[in-house]
Amino acid sequence: MKLDLLADPAIGPDGLWDRITLGLDNPRVENSADQAKMPANDNSEGRWRRAALAGMAASLLLALGLGFSLIMRPEPQVVAVLVNDAGEPLVLVEDFGNASARITPLAEFAVPEGRVMQVWTLPSKEMGPVSLGLLPRSETMTLDGPELPRPQEAQLYEITLEQAGGSPTGRPTGPILVKGFARQPR
């Protein structure tokens, strides 16, 4: 079957087919400067196999690491929806019971210059309010607070507006923006 009926037949130089046959039988071919070189598609070299095995091993380790991180995702011990005085839900608190809590604002808070939001919890009346940390902006953050007893059902959480750097007394001093009680997720 002819590929192109418009082209004129051409005859190659003498010995072309012999050189092609020799190149197919011999993995080393000679270039015009009589220097030996390997064909561009020589897959017999071990470096390509090693590179492919290293790539597969790295992919497997990445997949295992990702799967492990998804399996080991901590579940919150308690969840609290913090509301303002009008009863509007404005912040979600997920306390993991390992000195960390994820704070998710559900609305934008205007924080005046020189002020900061501070997150508090009341693990017990004997212990008093304890700061979980500062929120400089109205965005989701995970706060690493102090070691506290395991969070309990109906534990109080609140956010106050404090001076830059947080409460100077270690207790809430500013106005309460939102507050709520914890529930155990089902």
79: which residues sit within 8 A by CB, 6+ positions away? Answer: 92, 93, 94, 95, 182, 183, 184, 185
What pLDDT, in 10s, does the model give residues 92-142? 999 998 878 999 999 999 899 999 999 999 999 999 999 999 998 889 999
Say what the pLDDT of residue 131 is. Answer: 94
Q: Which helix (H) or strand (E) holds 55?
A: helix 46-71
What is the arithmetic mean of pLDDT over 19-25? 78
Question: What ranges do the domains of the chain cover?
Answer: 16-71, 78-183
- Across the chain, mean pLDDT equals 85
Say what the pLDDT of residue 145 is. Answer: 84
Confidence of residue 35 (pLDDT cuts 50, 70, 90): very low
Percent of the chain with pLDDT over 70: 85
CATH class entry, domain 78-183: mainly beta
Say what the pLDDT of residue 24 is. Answer: 77
Taking CA atoms, 173 is separated from 39, 46, 118, 129, in Å, by: 78, 70, 10, 11
What pLDDT, in 10s, does the model give residues 133-150? 999 888 999 998 888 889
Q: How far apart are CA 164 and CA 153, in angstroms?
A: 31
Handedness of CA 17, 22, 28, 31 (dihedral sign): negative
